[in-house]
Amino acid sequence: MFFNLLAFSNLSLDINPANTNTVSTVKIENAAYDALMIRENISKPVSAEYPKQWTYDIVMFARFKENLIAGNTDALLSQTSGLRIKRRKVGEFKWITIYENSALTGDVSDFTFEIFDRYARSNVEYEYGIAIICNGIESATSIARAKSVFDGLCVMDREQIFHTILETEVTVQQNQGSVYVAPLSSKYPFVVHNGRTNYASGTATGLFALPDHSTGEYPVNFEDTHMHRRNLMDFLCNGSTKLLKYFDGRMWLVDIIENPSENAMDHKNMILTSFEWAEVGDCEDKHDLYGFGLIDAKPIS
C-alpha cells in the first residue's frame, strides 16, 4: 500500500527535494546511452524531441559518436575555417562586420572570446550574428539580440573610452557650405551651394571623473580626477578619429578641432571639459569605420 502511494500519486515522504539545483557532476551507468543533454531553459513544454541545433541554453549534449564529448567544440573545429561577428539594426538588411578571424589556429580558443561593440548607438536594438566560414564561403548566421542603452556622453576610439553622466551637453550644427549673394536689383538673395558638403559639428561638454566601480557612483570629491582629465586631454588631442556618442542615440564619427578646454563650474573642483568636434564620416558606414581604423574587418561589399 505504501508502495502504491509512491508510485501513483507522485507523493513521497517529502513534498519537495532539498536543494537539487546545484548540480556539478552527472554519472551515467547500467544502460546503453544514445544521448544525454542538459539545458537551462525550461520554458518550452516537455517533449521527447531534441533540439536540431546547438542553442545558447544547452549546457551539455553528448551523442556518444565514438567519443564522450558533450560540448560543441568538436563539430565547430572540424567545420570552420573562419568566423565573423556582424551587427545590424533590428529590421535592417545589411550587416557591418565588427570582428573577423580568418586565421583560425584550430584551437578551442578561436571560438572563446568576449568582445565589446563600442560603435552601437544608445536606445537602439541590434542583432549580432556569428557567421561561420567554410571554404571561404560564409554560411548561415546565428543571431542574438541586445538593446544598447547607456547614460550620458562618451567619446571613444578602438583603444580608449571616456564616459561621463555628469553635466553633459552636446550642441550640434549642420554645415552645408552655402553662401548667399544679395543683388542690388532683387528683394531676395541668391543662395549658392558650393559643393556637396553636409556634415555636423558642435561642442561637447561634460564633467569627466572616474566612477567608483564598486558602487557605480561618482566621487563627491573631484580633486583626484585631474589625472583622468589629463588622460582625456591627451586622448582628445592625439589626432585620431573618434566616435562621439550621446545617451539619446545620436552618434558621430568625429575629429576634435580647435582646442579642448577645462573650466571650473560653481566650484573649483568641479571642472567641465569642453571640446569642439566636426563630423568626418558616416558612423554607420563600414567603409568609413574601416578607413578610419575603427574596425579591423575590411568591408567585402
Question: Between residue 235 and residue 264, which ones bind another protein under the rule CB under 8 A?
Answer: 245
N-to-C CA span, the chain: 74
Coil, strand or helix: which one is 189? Answer: coil
CB contact set of 8 (below 8 Å; sequence gap of 6+):
none
The correct pick among 81, 89, 104, 156 for binding another protein (CB under 8 A) is 156
CB contact set of 252 (below 8 Å; sequence gap of 6+):
200, 243, 244, 277, 279, 283
21 binds another protein (CB under 8 A): yes
211 versus 291: smaller Cβ distance to another protein: 211
Question: How many residues lie near another protein (CB under 8 A)?
Answer: 112
3 versus 180: smaller Cβ distance to another protein: 3
* CB of residue 45 to another protein, shortest distance in Å: 10
Would strands 82-89 and 124-134 be described as parallel, antiparallel, or unpaired?
Answer: antiparallel
58 versus 295: smaller Cβ distance to another protein: 58
Q: Which stretch binds another protein (CB under 8 A): 4-12, 226-234, 272-280, 288-296?
A: 4-12
**Please, which of residues 180-239 interact with another protein by CB under 8 A?**
211, 213, 216
228, 210 contact by CB (below 8 A): yes
**Please, which of residues 118-147 interact with another protein by CB under 8 A?**
118, 120, 122, 126, 128-132, 137-147
CA torsion angle 16 21 27 29 (round to 10): 30
* CB of residue 135 to another protein, shortest distance in Å: 11
